[in-house]
Structure 1
């Protein structure tokens, strides 16, 4: 699911198959582990600029979406 800037990321996640495979709702998901990603300041600014126009979304929401897309494309989830 590529990022579509015309819809909010929350809308895209709700409409995706992220939770349909497991028959779980978003509210039922629990955090089980932490992933730490270190990026340089220039890349952080690029991501900040990309996601700052998304209504009500922080950079962390965008990072989670990118990680999800990577994992989905590589059949990790």
Structure 2
């Protein structure tokens, strides 16, 4: 943990994590890891939503081309 992570605030009161029992220190560290993972997952989700939107737009263009344009894809039976 760096200097900033050694202090936590609970109900407006600051605590020095190094004074906690080892198990509690482990919980604090795990909470920090989980928050970082959640942040990464949110970024991943946002990126996937952009990619999903691009695919959806490609499907729409293929199914309903702009008037005057040739369809990009045709169904073969």
Same fold (TM over 0.5): no
Structure number with greater Rg is: 2
Return the structure number with greater strand share: 2
With the length of structure 1 as denominator, give the TM-score of the two structures.
Answer: 0.29
Return the structure number with greater helix share: 2
**Greater relative contact order structure (CA < 8 Å, 6+ sep):** 1
With the length of structure 2 as denominator, give the TM-score of the two structures.
Answer: 0.29
